[in-house]
Structure 1
Amino acid sequence: MADARQILQQYFGYDDFRPGQAELVDTLLAGRDVLGVMPTGAGKSLCYQVPALLLPGVTLVISPLISLMADQVNALRESGVPAAYLNSTLTPAQQSTVLRRAAQGQYRLLYVAPERLDTPAFLALAQRVPIPLVAVDEAHCISQWGQDFRPSYLRIPDFLRQLPARPVLGAFTATAAADVRADIAQLLGLHEPLTLTTGFDRPNLYFEVQHPVNKPAALKKLLEGRRGLSGIVYCATRKSVEEVAALVCGWGFDAACYHAGMDADSRRRSQEDFLFDRRTVMVATNAFGMGIDKSNVAFVIHYNMPKNMESYYQEAGRAGRDGSPADCILLYSPQDVRTGQFFIEHSRDADEALDEETRRTVLERERERLRQMAFYCATTDCLRHFILRYFGEHTQGYCGNCSNCNTQFETVDATIDAQKIVSCVYRLAERRRTVGKALIADILHGARTERILEAGFDTLSTYGIMQEMPVRRIRYLLDRLIGAGYLSVSEGEYPVVTLCPRSDEIIRARGPFIIRVPQDMAPRKAARAEAPSGALMDALKQLRKQIATRGGRPAYTVFTDASLADMCRKLPENREEFLSVSGVGQSKADKYGEAFLACIKEHLSAPAN
């Protein structure tokens, strides 16, 4: 009987498991439940796909992501694994065909949406066929404390109780803090699970935060340095997606756009254009990307700040999934915080699954997540360290692969400026007035706006006392004071700045207020510029494109860029050597080995120029 590593090599083309995968696979095969927390791109899918090929019957994979089902099933079939999915995109006749073939034992994996579990036809199938393993993907969706709670996930335990025999359960998620992990285990009813967090670090990802005065200009500069590379630009709203997509196309880039307000056909065309490399840039809201396993995404740019670190890391993690260097860049502006606050205040209004007390608790957690996301955008510490610390990991505090680690900082004594800012909040409080950060900065700078003049703020003693300092620098100092706990920001849709117990320390200058101010960062080339290139790589990509076009599928499902790069390094001359290439299993060797070996041979025999 084959073992797990043989299956890994035979079907997926890898010689060994990544960290954590083998332990999760072996535990499931031993009949024990697992909870695997692994970052996007770390290989969660293999942790249940490999056991599925060693266990009798059909393994169920419960996922909320329709696009993920189609993508993973196509990739599995390409690797020689019999698999299918069952969701609302199939016609009734197609659904009947899948149910019939599943009953006949033709599949090893069957992907289903949680809404499908309590339908009579599917329940009848589940009670008739052996189900040794149920894998719950995106398991954080069952927790109301998670960033993406979905009430439909609460149906899973009821479904499991109706099965003739309890299967082994595997719960998998990319991002889950300790309270969410506990919630997953309790709500799914995991039996003494092995809980394994492989670590959230993705060393191949470069992180950067910019605070541009002109976002469109900053975005254009970033895209110009990455022309020809595949990437995603995330925007916070549907309107901004359409505006940014129009700009990007106007700059001469092949860009598609995607948001939930588009009709289904338009979304499908945009997604396929991006997956099939007909468009190199996707401009989208967070409605795009869940479950999209496009391996050659070289950059993810956030045009707006997401409302929590979980969402940011999951979206940024769609870059560099094949292990190649990739860039994750966030363009921050204060308006992003206000947009996030608006979404939070209105997101739970229609959530009937939560009682009032729970809704308030969830709301406060979402507000705290937004604060942490804003702190990430403002920190002068290592960005990777900030992310990993947020998820409960300890690091040395210097990664050498983020914008903060690669930026020179000047340490300055900002005590006098800090006193001016806190004094302004104090003078406003004397008049029983509270305002937001933007208005405080305008008052200190001496702006003569209608709102300032009508409210009489131009008569404050602190009006215009920082007129020589750019408003942007005043905002930077104000954010530092809030982050250090010398000022507070209220909750709600329209937050205001208020004094707090530590404000007195600044006013009375009980200690210096020392901050780090970033200097200009050296220009940085796009990460993928370092990826293997040359005549052979170009020839292999062209061959891959021809094969993919004939088969009507994305090129990366034939071989990833990482596999092609490994071919360039190893230069295999026969089938045995071809099987040693990363990502080449027996099924793909049978289908494509002859063509790719011939291409490599032709390259090696060509006369040197």
Structure 2
Amino acid sequence: MDSPRTVDPISALREGDEDQTDRALRVLSAVFGYDSFRGEQAAIIDQVAGGGDAVVLMPTGGGKSLCYQIPALLRSGTGIVVSPLIALMADQVAALEGVGIRAAYLNSTLERHEAQAVEQQLLAGELDLLYMAPERLVLPRTLDLLGRAELSLVAIDEAHCVSQWGHDFRPDYLGLSVLADAFPTVPRIALTATATEATHRELTERLRMDAAEHFVASFDRPNIQYRIEPKASPREQLLRLITTEHEGESGIVYCLSRKSVETTAQWLSDHGIAALPYHAGLDASVRQDHQERFLRAEGLIIVATIAFGMGIDKPDVRFVAHLDLPKSIEGYYQETGRAGRDGQPSTAWMAYGLGDVVSQRKFIDSGEGNEQFKRNARSHLEAMLALCETVSCRRVQLLRYFGQDSRPCGNCDICLNPPQTWDATVPAQKLLSTLIRLDRERGQKFGSGQVIEVLLGRENERSRQSRHEELTVWGIGEELTEKQWRSALRQLVARGIVEPEGDYGVLVPGSQAGPVLRGEVALELAVDRSPTKPSRSRSGRGGGAPRAAEGLEIAERERFEALRQWRTSVAKEKQIAPYMVFSDATLVGIVETKPETVAALGTVSGVGAKKLAEYGEDVLEVLTGQS
């Protein structure tokens, strides 16, 4: 049975006497409801709509999707979007359909007859955008299908996945170089939110896009406040963050292990916080259910491994928390970038301790891969440790990693609460001497706990059995407390002065120990700081009102809440996420504009033609009921 032919309401937008830039603006306004482009969006769209290739590095929330969606609407044919995010394709398509774009996906979740119907739509020219995974695209049957269709462009999303030395390598992406030969006249655009200069070069080479124009936007997300604090009681620290700053708001909590995900989600639930787990060990149907509930609910927290998050388009995630040290700055940046996609103030928070470093190094040393791979992993970890232990602006350090210079932000924990430093040269020498004496005189190596016990001269069973009290280093570190020694050790490991070794993470002098032992350098370490207090007042919000509504007057908030309730009912009826109806920012714009006619409502940012026709009268009715 043939699929019903779909009507193309956007075709008229491709026509007209305006130049390409004006037509792009017309599409932006009529379809998406925005008046102007941001950053380099206009230049990127002009390049691709004109038939040229583009490599785009742009932060999460920077508007990457418009860079291929609008050219696909301006050009004749169907835009193919290559994405690894099978679990999210249905939501991505639903969001596009919500603004009047004819979109579909081809992936393994479809029944045979459903896939055939989509293929027929493609061949009939009835689709503006078609999503598919890389492993499907490179199949000979798929390439033959696409060869019989009219293609407007090919967009390769999450393009960093092609880099074997990147943080999120996907082998299936390596086959995408075939696109250069299969469709030489079809423009290609490769996009990523996370790429160092090395990854940028590699993805360009592997995708054979040497002739492409390159667009590198600023990686800065000024609305995100970066905070890292010493790990003491991490779940208690997390609970304090949620209850004092983000009560009733959506957030993502990352843990390294599946067990930690499960226990943390349960612990939060036991403390009255709505939280769900997500990791690869859960049944696929459970993962899908938890993901959909997170996307469609307001105020829900997802506790997850890094298996969760890529492609998540939820705009009102107010915080991203890490209870374990990420493996790389690329991964950290991508994960924290899932907060505050709507541009509203958001928090990237992490609790980090020496145990994280030991476990990460053990994982690298005992893992699979050749020595070059392990050196690369160690380099990633060292950069992550440098970010954690910096005594200058975290944002400056983060952006420098991606090759971008900046000034201190005034909005990270370091800027808000500058650390004090102290001369740790002699204590570091004492600690290194203790490691050396234990090894030379007793043939022993220990982790941080026993080393600190020796420095403090505290007896235990191990000390008595090995007669540690006879060592000349016994008790030589009593000028510091146990907490101070742990802080110093963590920083010494981060600087390579002390290193964990072997399966048990015993401590040994590191590659940078020599100059310290010989007194050739003065060593300054930071004093551990108290947790950073939020720089923005949370008072007066009441009832978990979103941050977007913080500046509204009382009467305006009542109208905002009425619109939120209406939005929730519409989303439930349509079985879509609330933000797919209207975002919080658009609801605020409606409240502030006070439209009395449908035409006036159409001037609000985020209200495109289809949404205006579908929801306009209902919105005015809600506002009338609140006046």
TM-score by length of 2: 0.89
1:397-436 residue pairs with structure 2 within 5 A? 398-428=408-438, 430-431=440-441, 434-436=445-447
Determine the structure 2 residue equivalent to 1:103: 123
Residue 338 (str. 1) matches residue 366 (str. 2): no
Secondary structure of the residue aligned to 2:587 is helix
Residue 224 (str. 1) matches residue 234 (str. 2): no
- Which one of 121, 130, 135 corresponds to residue 115 of structure 1? 135
Determine the structure 2 residue equivalent to 1:391: 402
Determine the structure 1 residue equivalent to 2:186: 167
1:59-70 residue pairs with structure 2 within 5 A? 59-70=79-90
Given that residues 338 and 493 in structure 1 are in contact (C-alpha distance below 8 angstroms), is that contact kept between their aligned partners in structure 2?
Answer: no
Residue 53 (str. 1) matches residue 73 (str. 2): yes
Determine the structure 2 residue equivalent to 1:531: 548
- Which one of 332, 342, 348 corresponds to residue 322 of structure 1? 342
Distance 1:90 1:279 in 2: 31
1:401-480 residue pairs with structure 2 within 5 A? 401-428=411-438, 430-431=440-441, 434-454=445-465, 456-467=467-478, 469-480=480-491
Residue 364 (str. 1) matches residue 383 (str. 2): no
Report how far residue 347 of structure 1 moved.
Answer: 5.5
- Which one of 249, 255, 264 corresponds to residue 284 of structure 2? 264
Report how far residue 419 of structure 1 moved.
Answer: 2.6
Distance 1:503 1:255 in 2: 44
1:348–1:98 Cα change, 3 Å: farther
Determine the structure 1 residue equivalent to 2:586: 563
1:147–1:50 Cα change, 3 Å: same
Which AA in structure 2 matches 1:479? R
Distance 2:128 2:354 in 1: 50
Distance 1:157 1:411 in 2: 51
Distance 2:471 2:410 in 1: 45
Report how far residue 219 of structure 1 moved.
Answer: 1.5
1:470–1:66 Cα change, 3 Å: farther
1:514–1:123 Cα change, 3 Å: closer
- Spell out, residue by residue over 1:198-248, the C-alpha distance to the aligned partner (whole angstroms, 9 max, x if none): 011001101111113211211221121222111111111100011001100
Secondary structure of the residue aligned to 1:44 is coil
Determine the structure 1 residue equivalent to 2:197: 178
Distance 1:190 1:52 in 2: 19
Report how far residue 462 of structure 1 moved.
Answer: 1.9
Determine the structure 2 residue equivalent to 1:598: 621
Secondary structure of the residue aligned to 1:592 is helix
Determine the structure 2 residue equivalent to 1:138: 158
Given that residues 499 and 510 in structure 2 are in contact (C-alpha distance below 8 angstroms), is that contact kept between their aligned partners in structure 1?
Answer: no
Report how far residue 159 of structure 1 moved.
Answer: 4.7
Distance 1:15 1:552 in 2: 29
Secondary structure of the residue aligned to 2:302 is strand
The worse-fitting range, judged by mean Cα deviation, of 414-423 and 181-190 is: 414-423
The worse-fitting range, judged by mean Cα deviation, of 525-534 and 78-87 is: 525-534
Secondary structure of the residue aligned to 1:146 is coil
Which AA in structure 2 matches 1:193? A
Distance 2:598 2:363 in 1: 55
Report how far residue 479 of structure 1 moved.
Answer: 3.3
Determine the structure 2 residue equivalent to 1:354: none
Which AA in structure 1 matches 2:270? G
Determine the structure 1 residue equivalent to 2:565: 542
Report how far residue 273 of structure 1 moved.
Answer: 1.6
1:418–1:492 Cα change, 3 Å: closer
Secondary structure of the residue aligned to 2:110 is coil
Given that residues 367 and 491 in structure 1 are in contact (C-alpha distance below 8 angstroms), is that contact kept between their aligned partners in structure 2?
Answer: no
1:582-593 residue pairs with structure 2 within 5 A? 582-593=605-616
Distance 2:396 2:36 in 1: 28
Secondary structure of the residue aligned to 1:53 is helix
Report how far residue 41 of structure 1 moved.
Answer: 1.1
Which AA in structure 2 matches 1:296? D
Given that residues 123 and 150 in structure 2 are in contact (C-alpha distance below 8 angstroms), is that contact kept between their aligned partners in structure 1?
Answer: no
- Which one of 144, 149, 161 corresponds to residue 124 of structure 1? 144
- Which one of 158, 169, 175 corresponds to residue 178 of structure 2? 158
1:465–1:262 Cα change, 3 Å: same
Distance 1:15 1:455 in 2: 75
Secondary structure of the residue aligned to 1:195 is strand
Given that residues 106 and 118 in structure 2 are in contact (C-alpha distance below 8 angstroms), is that contact kept between their aligned partners in structure 1?
Answer: yes
1:580–1:520 Cα change, 3 Å: same
1:16–1:509 Cα change, 3 Å: same
1:500–1:334 Cα change, 3 Å: closer
- Spell out, residue by residue over 1:496-524, the C-alpha distance to the aligned partner (whole angstroms, 9 max, x if none): 54446753443344454333324435632
Report how far residue 582 of structure 1 moved.
Answer: 2.0
Distance 1:379 1:451 in 2: 35
- Spell out, residue by residue over 1:518-570, the C-alpha distance to the aligned partner (whole angstroms, 9 max, x if none): 44356327787553152122111111101111111111111111111222222
Which AA in structure 2 matches 1:540? L
Which AA in structure 2 matches 1:584? V
Report how far residue 464 of structure 1 moved.
Answer: 2.7
- Which one of 97, 110, 115 corresponds to residue 77 of structure 1? 97
Given that residues 487 and 528 in structure 2 are in contact (C-alpha distance below 8 angstroms), is that contact kept between their aligned partners in structure 1?
Answer: no
Distance 2:479 2:100 in 1: 68
Residue 507 (str. 1) matches residue 530 (str. 2): no
Distance 2:399 2:513 in 1: 30
Determine the structure 2 residue equivalent to 1:355: none
1:114–1:499 Cα change, 3 Å: same
Distance 2:530 2:513 in 1: 31
Distance 1:421 1:18 in 2: 53
Residue 307 (str. 1) matches residue 324 (str. 2): no
Distance 1:79 1:338 in 2: 49
Distance 1:206 1:484 in 2: 25
1:334–1:522 Cα change, 3 Å: closer
The worse-fitting range, judged by mean Cα deviation, of 518-527 and 64-73 is: 518-527
The worse-fitting range, judged by mean Cα deviation, of 530-539 and 559-568 is: 530-539
1:492–1:140 Cα change, 3 Å: farther
Secondary structure of the residue aligned to 2:121 is helix
Given that residues 33 and 194 in structure 1 are in contact (C-alpha distance below 8 angstroms), is that contact kept between their aligned partners in structure 2?
Answer: yes
Report how far residue 56 of structure 1 moved.
Answer: 0.9
Given that residues 256 and 306 in structure 2 are in contact (C-alpha distance below 8 angstroms), is that contact kept between their aligned partners in structure 1?
Answer: yes
Report how far residue 300 of structure 1 moved.
Answer: 0.9
Residue 200 (str. 1) matches residue 193 (str. 2): no
The worse-fitting range, judged by mean Cα deviation, of 124-133 and 506-515 is: 506-515
- Spell out, residue by residue over 1:275-331, the C-alpha distance to the aligned partner (whole angstroms, 9 max, x if none): 121661111111111111111111111111111111111111111011111111001
1:554–1:32 Cα change, 3 Å: same
Paired residues, number = 592
Secondary structure of the residue aligned to 1:132 is strand
- Which one of 516, 527, 543 corresponds to residue 517 of structure 1? 527
Distance 1:8 1:277 in 2: 28
Report how far residue 465 of structure 1 moved.
Answer: 2.1
Determine the structure 2 residue equivalent to 1:36: 56
TM-score by length of 1: 0.91
Determine the structure 1 residue equivalent to 2:9: none
Secondary structure of the residue aligned to 2:416 is coil
Report how far residue 67 of structure 1 moved.
Answer: 2.8
